[in-house]
Structure 1
Amino acid sequence: MTASLLKRLIRNYAPALLLSLLILTAWEIIARLGLTPSFILPSPSAIWTALATDRRLLLTVHLPATLLEVLAGFSLSVVCGSLLGTGMHLFRPLAKALYPLLVISQTLPLIALSPLFIMWFGYTLWSKVAIVFLTAFFPVVVGTYDGLGKNTQSYRELMLTLGANRRQILCKVSVPLALPSFFSGLKLSVVYSVIGATLGEWLGGSRGLGYFSRRMAGNLQSAEMFAAIVILSALGIAMFLCIAGLETILLKKRGRYS
């Protein structure tokens, strides 16, 4: 199972890796020719040197802080979002009342709300978790609600003729059919979680990769700033692949993949 999953990942992402390699090669050539100032666009080799030089600080101090914020906010968004999406599916008046408010919540600029969270929670972990939660909450709710709302009338009628109650129909019909939409929401949510944590650290923090990149940008140390960005990108990709792998395993068990 692990080997087949690895082959699937290689087959799906090999073109993206090849394109990334070509971009990095062109980037290195442009930087070495001096076509852009190094403080604006450092070369990939300079970024790699910064990663190697500051690896202890980045990986043992700032990465754990950001990872904790991401995991806490993402976990909270998954629990609350899936419960709310399920509640909206079961109680249509609740969906009619809340869905517009959920959409409105996504139109509010986070950069304007962040100072409010800092006022409420201070410069603590929870101000960043609140930003991550607000960023990652919406895709989970929509993925859950839309997935459960798929056309299951024929399955429902069959289950009713077999004497199933509403809870059994939800667990045996609606939830399995909702899994693809639910995981689509999770994959968006986990990427947004990294963005939310970075934004929270930029606006107010003393640790984390976002805080480190902001400090390096203020000192015009662009190679170090890009080093933090590389780790943030790797973190987002790793978490996305974890969710995608879990999706593949669960849906394959349910016979959705050949």
Structure 2
Amino acid sequence: MKKITSYSWSILFVTILLGLWEISARLYDKSFLFPSPSAILIRLWELKTELFIHHLPPTALTILIGLSISIMLGSTLAIAMYSKKPIEQAFYPILIASQTIPVIALAPIFVLWFGYSIWSKVAVTVLITFFPITVSVFDGLRSSDRNLRELMLTMGASAKDIFYKLDLPSALPSFFSGLKVAVTLSVIGAAIGEWLGAQAGLGYFSRRMMTQFDSAAVFAPIVLLSAVGIIFFLLVVVLEKHFLQWRNHQ
């Protein structure tokens, strides 16, 4: 009942915002600069074939590949840093420093290296999602219960047993928290990569429509990008509930 009430408030708040936006856009009456939500939805419907068939698949593929690479590399580096102190001392400062570099500044370099292929967009997506996954897994591994560790050691557990039966399960909640952040950032990364250099994709289509001063068509793929981000986020939530069933019963 509480969840239903909270969602009702969210729906009400979004409805009020959209209503104010619609009224403001109609009063301003300059759709080429400030389109209304209804005009955006109409334009989205008009462009549905081009967006869903030609531009949504490349963006979704970029997000999936980028996230997969970030999960594999980020988890591997986090485990390595947790296992070996010298690796943590060598890579953790570099990991932090990498986040001080604006992604928008590196995206053109990736286009220069990889051209307009999907890999330039994947590189941007990996760069923007690698950090939250790595840090969340690393912090999750370090959060394992010391008392349980000592108990397992006294019972003759090996380092391998402790890692698989204590450290990894302890890191799962943090991993999924980081993955939720990474999923939303992956949409931004894919859009940035497509905005700066691509031949297809929702970000590319939005930039193309901007040159034609079709503001409703600029917003249409943005709405679709937002929907993609929400869908991926909900998928992570479903996976989290499946793999962390033990936490739901606590």
TM-score by length of 1: 0.92
- Answer yes or no: is the 8 Å Cα contact 2:144–2:166 preserved in 1: no
Instruction: State the partner residue of 2:97.
Output: 104
Structure 2 counterpart of 1:225, from 210, 215, 218: 218
Task: Spell out, residue by residue over 1:141-177, the C-alpha distance to the aligned partner (whole angstroms, 9 max, x if none).
Answer: 0000000011521010111112111111011111111
Tell me, in whole angstroms, the C-alpha distance in 1 between the residues paired with 2:244 and 2:151. 22
Describe how 1:108-257 pairs up with structure 2 within 5 A.
108-252=101-245, 254-257=246-249
Task: Spell out, residue by residue over 1:57-87, the C-alpha distance to the aligned partner (whole angstroms, 9 max, x if none).
Answer: 0011100010000100011001110111111
Tell me, in whole angstroms, the C-alpha distance in 2 between the residues paired with 1:9 and 1:238. 19
Instruction: State the partner residue of 1:55.
Output: 48
Change (3 A) 1:9 1:138: farther
TM-aligned CA deviation for residue 194 of structure 1: 0.6
- Answer yes or no: is the 8 Å Cα contact 1:251–1:257 preserved in 2: no
Instruction: State the partner residue of 1:3.
Output: none
Question: Within the alignment, does 1:38 sit opposite 2:59 as a pair?
Answer: no
Instruction: State the partner residue of 1:21.
Output: 15
- Answer yes or no: is the 8 Å Cα contact 2:66–2:186 preserved in 1: yes
Change (3 A) 1:213 1:175: same
- More displaced stretch, 222-231 vs 111-120: 111-120
TM-aligned CA deviation for residue 135 of structure 1: 0.6
Tell me, in whole angstroms, the C-alpha distance in 1 between the residues paired with 2:196 and 2:90. 33
Instruction: State the partner residue of 1:93.
Output: 86
Task: Spell out, residue by residue over 1:8-40, the C-alpha distance to the aligned partner (whole angstroms, 9 max, x if none).
Answer: 97566443232111111111111122x262122
Tell me, in whole angstroms, the C-alpha distance in 2 between the residues paired with 1:238 and 1:9. 19
Query: How much identity, in percent, do the aligned residues show?
Result: 48
Tell me, in whole angstroms, the C-alpha distance in 2 between the residues paired with 1:166 and 1:12. 45
Task: Spell out, residue by residue over 1:84-132, the C-alpha distance to the aligned partner (whole angstroms, 9 max, x if none).
Answer: 1111111111111111100111111112111211121111011110110
- More displaced stretch, 240-249 vs 212-221: 240-249
What code does the residue aligned with 2:17 have? I
Q: Secondary structure at the match of 1:108?
A: coil
Q: Secondary structure at the match of 1:157?
A: helix
> RMSD of the alignment, in Å?
1.6
Tell me, in whole angstroms, the C-alpha distance in 2 between the residues paired with 1:148 and 1:12. 33
Tell me, in whole angstroms, the C-alpha distance in 2 between the residues paired with 1:8 and 1:257. 18
Task: Give aligned pairs, total.
Answer: 250
Gaps of 5+ in 1: 1-6
Change (3 A) 1:235 1:48: same
